[in-house]
Amino acid sequence: MAEANLYGGLIGGLLIGLAATLFLLVNGRIAGISGILAGLITSKFTSEWFWRAAFVIGLVCGAAIYAWLRGALPLQHQAGNALLVLAGLLVGLGTRLGSGCTSGHGICGLARRSPRSLAATATFIACGILTVYLTRHLF
Amino acid sequence: MLPTISSFALGILFGLGLSISEMTDPARVIGFLDIAGRWDPTLICVMGGALAVTLPLFPWIQKRQKSLLGEPLQLPSQTRIDARLIIGAAIFGIGWGLAGLCPGPALANLASASPGIALFVLAMIAGQWLAIRFGSR
């Protein structure tokens, strides 16, 4: 991996925070990506379904605009297909049981001063660190 | 119609943020989680930048009864830290560490048209479906 991208990280982070804040102000909703996606499975084809789909399509379009301006998306490392399927299943299962992911718990939940989100964020970061340690340094 | 338009626009802003911060690159995420290797602090800057906006503004917005579009604010009502929350977060953390992808970057990465990313997203939706189907309270 190249050098840390501190400025890009900070600017990107500010934009993410701004998007989450405006989403609460304008739409009255928490910008938790796993929750928005899960609602596409559970909600009927009403306005509820459409704003959720619009957000997901917007996410893809935002990344596509970046790729168009900069030539490519930053996507250097990618796991093998079998590992990607296993990881995807775990991420889907875990974010539903745990009611949120990095955005819902990590960015919005902490901003709401939610002890649940703090506990969830600490848990998924700790388990992520442990998983990387086991897969990179022990096995 | 208006909530759909603003949702689309803010999805774009969110996706731009994820790309500019390079959180769409699993190497950045795994680099952050790899504290025993060449640690990459980029994710700290992303969380810090995002929280610098949300931490001061959320309490102020939460005082409102309705959103700017006139909908009631919908906030999570649960407050209990239970086994389900911790086990779910732990399972998510393991998956996150294995591939370096969480839901936002995974969806944004669909723009790369990478078959591996499409597989991850399909598996993630299947995982969510399993949890909703069999794991409901």
Q: What is the pLDDT of residues B41-59, one digit of tens each?
A: 999 999 999 999 999 999 9
Q: Where do the domains of chain A lie?
A: 11-138
B13's CB contacts (< 8 A; 6+ apart) are: A15, A18, A19, A22, A58, A62
Threshold 0.90, pTM exceeds = yes
Query: How far is the alpha carbon of A46 from chain B, nearest alpha carbon, in Å?
Result: 11
ipTM comes to 0.95
Q: How far apart are CA A6 and CA A113, in angstroms?
A: 26
Interchain proximity A62–B132, CB inside 8 Å: no
CB atoms within 10 A of CB B85: 21
A-B Cβ pairs (cutoff 8 Å, strict):
506
pLDDT given for residue A90 in this prediction: 98
**Which residues share a beta bridge with B72?**
B66
Q: Is A68 on the interface with B (CB under 8 A)?
A: no
* Phi and psi angles of residue B72, each rounded to the nearest 5 degrees, phi first: -65, 140
Report chain A (139 residues): mean pLDDT per 10 consecutive residues.
Answer: 84 98 97 96 88 97 96 80 97 97 96 97 98 90
Query: Is residue B132 predicted with pLDDT exceeding 60?
Result: yes
Interchain proximity A9–B43, CB inside 8 Å: yes
Interchain proximity A112–B58, CB inside 8 Å: yes
